[in-house]
Amino acid sequence: MAGQLKSRDRRALLLLGGALAIAAVFQLDWFAPAAGPAASGSSIEAAEQRLLLAQVKARQLPLAEAELDAVKRQLDVLEQGLLKSETASLAQAEMQQLVGDLLSAEGISMESSQFGAVQLDGEDYAQVPLNVNFQCGIEQLVNLMAAVANGPQLLATRRIRVTPENLATKSVRVQLTVAGLLPAERTPELKRKASGAGAAP
């Protein structure tokens, strides 16, 4: 789900908002009386065409507004799945708790975990990865991956390695990297570093 939530969502909102503003300006221009010589047949026909086009645009405007509202609602729902922590280090601890809860829900014990480097993901978000190692049954692993993909939190599987552990019990050993998303403004050091790299010649 994390892949669904990138800066393109915010850019879509900006583009839709700009389209609404442009449509409003066009309508004002079309309805404004034109200065110039006395009206002729051709000028009247041109005015009628402008009026017709303005009416079409006016009918389309509510559709654009509805689309903008729908995108805003979708973004609001998605952002509810962001990590809640105020700093990157707290977000790492939050990820450890979240992944631990997912493992426990499937009856899996976490053998070890390691924090990955927090990195910017686009302009608006930062990825907070966690590496975990555990042993489980194949069915448990399938259920765990479904929980990661479909849960309320925006989590994504970045890496997985599965090796057979016990053929008799159909158990496997798993090395898994899961990442959550944190608003980029809560990682100011990463934003400063990215800005400095962008400004470098």
Query: Which DSSP string do the residues of 24-69 spell out, in sequence order?
Result: HHHHHHHHSPPPSSPP-HHHHHHHHHHHHHHHHHHHHHHHHHHHHH
From the list 132, 189, 185, the residue with the least C-alpha distance to 155 is: 132
User: pLDDT category, 120, cuts 50, 70, 90?
Assistant: very high
Nearest-angstrom CA–CA distance, 13 and 71: 7
Q: What is the pTM of this model?
A: 0.64
Confidence check: pLDDT of 109 > 90 = yes
Supply the pLDDT for residue 177. Answer: 98
Name the average pLDDT for the chain.
80
Which stretch of 41-45, 57-61, 95-99, 157-161 has the lowest confidence by average pLDDT?
41-45
Q: Does residue 47 or residue 121 have the better pLDDT?
A: 121
